[in-house]
């Protein structure tokens, strides 16, 4: 890649367009034939022609001049031994102390900046530009000299100092990861579901083919009369909400006096390969609401949906409203999309050809493999969630430290093909949920305008899966009284932020106004120190009703304790 840049920049715009067009197709075809291809698998279905792109000559000329200037500066620095590549991948002193390694790292960074500049200079529709940028990000991340032992000065130094032990350990780590089928992000042998993650005390009180319903043991003498139901994403396992006692949102809710129930999704196998979005709404989300009511005797409950669990909860509430039923008194949506106008980086995967390809592949049956989903999300941040561990595990021979969140992240789940295909078309591609009557679910026309109840909407400022603008868009869709809060950090770390740790911050608007755009909302918001959990807790209490004596047993009537929490469904591996 280093030697090709000057040659590419010297070509005519027409030649350059042809080269990039062909390179675009080859890049994604290469992706589809490699493990890292899970990040882009299906982006261009087989047989699709490369996109038509062009470049403005003045942008190419400016980029060429910039490259030559920076290359001359880099060459001068290398002659004087002052090359210092500024990137955390090359931050170790071993890079600085090895002139050749420092130069290769700096040259790589220059070439990467130039290629990204070329991607930004493409004249094409927005989706094509985003896809080209995504492809360049993947290729440049994979091509970093830090990823190869022959160029990684830090790994070489460690090999010398350890007399080759680090290399031997790296090979052992590689064999282990090949056997388990994914790159280790943490020492997975340390964790066991139900033993040191997902340990909040409770019992499974209902189960069917799709989910188990867990009721948690009260931690207070009295509980609020309206029970609290959490609907996590079925694309992951529920215990992200119950990792450790000190960062468990589930335990926090129980400790606040809420009689708490959680949906624990079954990890689909071939027996569930035919299940649809309708099945998950009617036989899971709505069923969980009904069972929670039956057990507690409550006329209405409070509910929370997280990520796609929020999308499913919103859909279920619209179906119930169409039936003239309103069993939910208030709803909380955490990093959830109802309006899919702004889907961020995930939009690069979605177009008619891609969705039709998936529909043909698994729309009538089959499984979207959990390892494919997990790999895709990891490659959205390739340096942090892929190559960082490749370098550490295999080149340096390190065992990643135990980290509960990363253990959960590696505990992947499958999805039924028909469910997945419906979700792609009706949300990401056609955004039907916010178009009254356009989506038909469980025989009912979906109209979110009928979901008239108090709602609490949370979005994370740096979320790359549910962009903050996408999370905020729900404020313009739902008709009830709304409260919007923005937290710091990303999709998971922003949500799992217990008050006791006093970390990060959140933003609120005291005037309660919800203008059309998130940027307008933020202009009138003020930053608050610490977790958003306390604000949410105060809001939820205001909708929870009076306090009553806490139950002494799990379940009621025909709903008896089946097994201790967290149950067996969550322990099934993809």
Bridge partners, residue 529, by sequence: 505
Tokens of 499: 């008050």
Catalytic residue list contains 307: yes
Q: Under a CB-based contact definition with an 8 Å cutoff, are residues 251 and 218 in contact? A: no
Q: How far apart are CA 320 and CA 328, in angstroms?
A: 9
Q: How far is C-alpha 410 from the geometric centre of its chain's CA atoms? A: 12
Q: Under a CB-based contact definition with an 8 Å cutoff, are residues 382 and 141 in contact? A: yes
Radius of gyration of the chain (CA): 26
Q: What is the DSSP letter of 43?
A: S
Which sign, positive or negative, has the C-alpha torsion 159, 162, 168, 170?
negative
Secondary element (H or E) of residue 176 = helix 165-180
Q: How far apart are CA 458 and CA 481, in angstroms?
A: 14
Beta strands in 266-381 (DSSP E): 301-306, 328-334, 367-368
For 500-523, give one letter per residue: b (16+ CB within 10 A) or e.
eeeebbbbbbeeeebeeebeebee
Bridge partners, residue 439, by sequence: none
Q: How far apart are CA 511 and CA 520, in angstroms?
A: 13
**What DSSP line would sit under 278-301, residue for residue?**
HHHIIIIIIHHHHHHHHHHT-S-E
Catalytic residue among 60, 307, 373, 421: 307
**What DSSP line would sit under 80-135, residue for residue?**
TT-----SGGG-SHHHHT-HHHHHHHHHHHHHHHHHHHHHHTEES-HHHHHHHHHH
Tokens of 256: 């606040």
Tokens of 36: 């890292």
Secondary element (H or E) of residue 242 = none
501: left (phi over 0), alpha (psi -120 to 50) or beta: alpha
Residues designated catalytic = 307
């Amino acid at each position: 890649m280093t030697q090709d840049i000057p040659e590419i920049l010297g070509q005519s715009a027409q030649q350059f367009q042809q080269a990039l067009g062909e390179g675009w197709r080859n890049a994604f075809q290469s992706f589809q034939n490699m493990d890292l291809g899970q990040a882009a698998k299906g982006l261009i279905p087989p047989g699709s022609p490369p996109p038509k792109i062009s470049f403005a000559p003045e942008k190419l000329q400016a980029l060429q001049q910039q490259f030559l200037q920076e290359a001359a500066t880099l060459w001068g620095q290398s002659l004087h031994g002052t090359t210092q590549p500024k990137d955390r991948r090359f931050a170790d002193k071993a890079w600085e102390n090895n002139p050749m390694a420092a130069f290769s790292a700096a040259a790589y960074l220059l070439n990467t900046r130039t290629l990204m500049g070329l991607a930004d200079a493409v004249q094409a529709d927005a989706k094509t530009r985003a896809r080209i940028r995504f492809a360049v990000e993947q290729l440049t991340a994979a091509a970093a000299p830090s990823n190869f032992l022959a160029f990684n000065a830090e790994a070489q130094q460690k090999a010398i100092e350890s007399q080759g032990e680090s290399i031997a350990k790296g090979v052992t780590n590689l064999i282990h990861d090949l056997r388990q089928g994914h790159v280790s992000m943490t020492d997975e042998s340390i964790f066991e579901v139900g033993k040191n993650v997902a340990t909040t005390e409770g019992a499974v009180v209902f189960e069917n083919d799709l989910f188990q319903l867990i009721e948690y043991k009260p931690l207070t003498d009295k509980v609020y009369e309206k029970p609290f139901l959490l609907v996590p994403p079925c694309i992951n396992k529920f215990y992200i909400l119950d990792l450790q006692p000190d960062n468990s949102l589930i335990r926090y809710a129980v400790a606040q006096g809420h009689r708490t129930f959680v949906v624990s999704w079954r990890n689909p196998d071939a027996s569930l390969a035919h299940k649809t979005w309708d099945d998950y709404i009617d036989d899971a989300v709505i069923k969980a609401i009904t069972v929670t009511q039956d057990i507690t005797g409550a006329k209405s409950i409070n509910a929370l949906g997280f990520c796609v669990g929020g999308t499913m909860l919103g859909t279920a509430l619209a179906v119930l409203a169409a039936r003239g039923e309103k069993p939910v008194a208030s709803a909380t949506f955490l990093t959830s999309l109802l309006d899919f106008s702004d889907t961020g980086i995930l939009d690069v995967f979605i177009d008619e050809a891609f969705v039709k390809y998936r529909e043909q592949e698994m729309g009538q049956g089959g499984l979207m493999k959990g390892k494919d989903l997990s790999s895709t999300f990891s490659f959205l941040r390739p340096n942090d969630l892929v190559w960082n561990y490749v370098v550490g595990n295999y080149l340096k021979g390190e065992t990643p430290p135990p980290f509960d969140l990363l253990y959960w992240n590696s505990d992947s789940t499958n999805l039924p093909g028909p469910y997945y295909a419906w979700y792609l078309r009706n949300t990401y591609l056609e955004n039907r949920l916010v178009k009254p009557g356009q989506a038909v679910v469980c025989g009912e026309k979906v109209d979110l305008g009928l979901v008239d109840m108090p709602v609490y909407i949370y979005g994370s400022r740096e979320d790359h899966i549910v962009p903050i603008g996408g999370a905020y868009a729900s404020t313009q869709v739902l008709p009830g009284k709304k409260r919007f809060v923005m937290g710091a950090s990303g999709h998971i770390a922003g949500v799992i932020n217990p008050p006791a740790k006093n970390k990060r911050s959140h933003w609120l608007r005291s005037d309660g106004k919800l203008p059309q755009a998130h940027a307008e909302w933020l202009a009138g918001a003020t930053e608050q120190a610490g977790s958003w959990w306390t604000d949410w807790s105060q809001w939820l209490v205001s909708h929870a009703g009076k306090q009553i004596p806490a139950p002494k047993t799990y379940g009621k009537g025909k709903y008896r304790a089946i097994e201790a929490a967290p149950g067996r469904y969550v322990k099934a591996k993809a």
